[in-house]
A and B are shown apart, each in its own frame.
Chain A
Amino acid sequence: MTNHHTDTGRSLTPDASAALDRAGLTRRAFLKGSGALVVSFGAASILSDAGIAPAVLGAQRLDGAGSNQLDSWIAIGADGRVTAYTGKCELGHGLYTAQTQLIAEELSVPFDRVTLVQCDTELTPDQGTTSGAQSHPTNFNRANLAQAGATAREALVRLASARLAVPVEQLLVKDGVVSARGDAAKRASYAELVGGRTFNLTVNPEARRKHPSEWTVLGTSTPRVEFPSMVTGQFEYVHNVRVPGMLHGRVVRPPSVRATLISVDEGSVQALAGVVKVVVRKNFVGVVAEKPWQAIQAAEKLKVTWSSGDRLPDHRSFHDWLRNEKPTRDTLVVNSKDVDQNFSRAARVVKATYLYPYQMHGSIGSACAVADVQRDRATIWSASQAVYPLKSSAAMLLDLPGDRVHVIFRMASGCYGVNGADTVSYDAALLSQAVGRPVRVQLARKDEMAWENYGQAYVIDERAALDADGTIVAWDHESWSATRGGRPGAASPGNIVTGMLAGFEPAPFAPRSPAPDPAGFANNSNAAPSYMTGTVSGRSGGTGTIRSERVLTHDVPSPFFTGPLRSPARLQNTFAHESFIDEVAALLKADPVDYRLRHLRDPRLMGVIRAAAKAANWDTRPSPRPGIPRTGVTSGRGMSCVLYEGDNGYCAMVAEVSVDQDSGRVGVTRLVMAEDCGPISNPDGLRNQLEGGALQGVSRALLEEVIWDDEKITSVDWRTYPPLYLGADVPQMVTVLLNQPDANAAGAGETSVTVAVAAIANAIFDATGARVRQVPMTPERVKRALGARG
């Protein structure tokens, strides 16, 4: 196979195809010629610890090995254009633009001379999943894409040095041309040096990255490259992928959780126009038709008989069920083993319990994929965050060798984590395999919502021991959460609904109690509050000063599928920690900002708190505010902060709210946030992420909760799962960016949503003196808390 245009040409964007044309070589021939291998990474080895939590959290951290071959990352065309290949994809957060800036910067070429090819299992390095705010840490520090860029620039300078007979240190690089200092006639362009040929080099870990002080492209607010095509309706989402001969599929999901298939009456749709086939595989049922509308009607009219499913725990008392369900899988994040002792001799003990619901990703476009499964190979156009793991797990689903499945990323609407992208990829693949033709599937809204991998519900107990001065001397955190499934990873198709329906089991639940001692301090779920030292085996990995510390978590199997939702577990834990520190401060009549700072030692975390407080004109005083009226509208402010995942970006937020004490309605009037995520790649892109995350946080704090009855989810559309519409009152948002040019690049896409919920809860308390400990903070719950003020 030497010409990709006859083979996988339609898999490339027009830009990428054109870039390859200009480059005068094909990607496959190119990789073959260079000897560079795009190796499928053995992701299963990472999911080593059995049990559910590692499957969810491990996958969140899953980063493929990428490649140490420079030619796998960067190609210079005969015309000097640069094509770069990345395993981290655009999800609506601006990563495509930022990675393009990165390559333009490291290679010293203009932004518009770079074409980025993202997430294609036959073209790009395997970088695992695009998730967990890990793309900046992975690709913008001293490895992977960034280091490939630096390696390529140094290689080009060396080639120029030899060609021009000028020492390397006397050469300048600008706009893709290497020239001698003081003698512009001595010059060689990238095209002349290597255009159309390969580097045949490994990525050099010692190649010098440009310091942010030298940046001219990275660090600027380069506009998003996709926006012109998006606003003119030209952009090709996965929903717009059209393959010759493509049919349309629709799935028929069971009516309730764990219902099983009894029978399908294929005759019930035989007379309908356009119906091609009814497909059944264990509990997976779908129909394929010539046209989308025909498939939808056939799915509605198909007579299917199901067994009744499991009876679900009562929604109204679900958190009690969660706290008491056995057996559990227990984990200790930190345990100084002196917590009980310190509580027994404390001057004062404070405790509180916080409740968090299941919430949805709720992507605006229901999930969609196109698959073309032939007898011996398959191509899947998917919006999955994980093209390489999907390649492996889909091969299991289809019973094909792993190297015969080709997954091509195409962007969908924002996913915010594991939404329906993987499951619908399986849907399309199964239906295509059954008919031997390409099939497009887009889920019905109700099928998307009733069968999501929801963000996890939580019960969280917090307990603090205070000394006579009001300093916290011991903190005890215990949480209960329910999980099922998660990312399919490379080897667990049953972790998502279609895989389970087709006969694969979710990753098994492995009970474990009591929890073993922690081996090291890993706070990637933010289970430990910022105020702990996080000391394990004599090493302190936390950001705070509290030395007597215990963090114990319990997982139980969830009745519903769960999966990472923007800031998974981190948001829930931070809601509890940051509400609780506020409660303690209030009891001591201490200012919430001062009281936080008193228990912190990480200067960067303290820095974002001070910056947010300053920008908000924080009024230093205890909460609640003085002189609150008993009725009518009152207002207040609240603080919250986080070091995301314990090592991946700092954020602090001041929320200002107004509360109508008669109706219980909360209006968020202003959100002031300060962010420190290292050197900033794109300031306006960062602001856009922070604002969107913050406002999504408002929606999750006040509105969003998955509801169910005895046997099924009843949150099945935007009326039964009400979101924040465009007409809503939107707070003024202020973003303070603390650029740290000498620090490592950290994630920023999940920080503001993490702090928003607690900041709002704390502001409600400041305004009213009423503490709401359950999300969403609906008018009803606010009214109940107001009534409990006494």
Chain B
Amino acid sequence: MSVVAKIVRAQARDAVRSRWLLGYAAFFFLLTEGVIRFSGDGSKAVLTLASASLVVVPLVTLVLATIHVYNAREFTELLLAQPIRRSSLFKGLYLGLSLPLVAGFVAGIGLPFLLHGGGDPSYRGALITLVALGVVLTFSFTAISFSIALFAEDRLRGLGVALGIWLLVGLLYDGLVLVAVALFSDYPIERPLLALTLANPVDLARVLLLLKLDVAALMGYTGAVFQRAFSGTVGPSLAAGMLGAWIVAPLMLGARQFRRKDF
């Protein structure tokens, strides 16, 4: 077994016994179970879960991962003093944290649907998309958290930056886009709007989900533009590429900092 896998195994063993991961999985389990009980397992349930996931996954991932990296600082130094490469250690630490978070999310949402017979077949595709996007967002925001915690020596400042990023991509960004739309409403702004949406991983995930749920019509003309943009092959691959970039870019930034950093 590679050094990376060994680190992942030990880190994951620590994480799965922690209360925070159990709480995170339990939150999604109860939410999903509740939503299914109250609104059935159709599109409405998936839509409700999507709205909640797109807020909670980035927030919880950013906060938990950032705190975890700061708390693990001394142990990371101990591991750095072992005869292993820094690059292997970084991969191990990253996967050892992101994989348990992914598992918590997937189990929390997946189990209730499995218990209720696998979900309504017509919305299974949307459900799978939701879970897949949650997984992608978890990988992305864990990578962002590592970068933050490796660049900011002060943990309060790091946590502040993490929360700031969540506020920005989760809440403020939409508001700013709306302001822009209102200001430039006399101009053809569909394309810039599309570009703005592609630039924010949370917005991108939201649009992809809405399109999958066939509620894009609710978004009026803009919805039609998005529908057209994402119906070909270019749109979806561009979207997938952007989501991938939101994992790879912060990960590379963090890995580079980890290799050079003075601990």
Whether chains A and B associate is: no
Residues of A bordering B, CB below 8 Å:
none
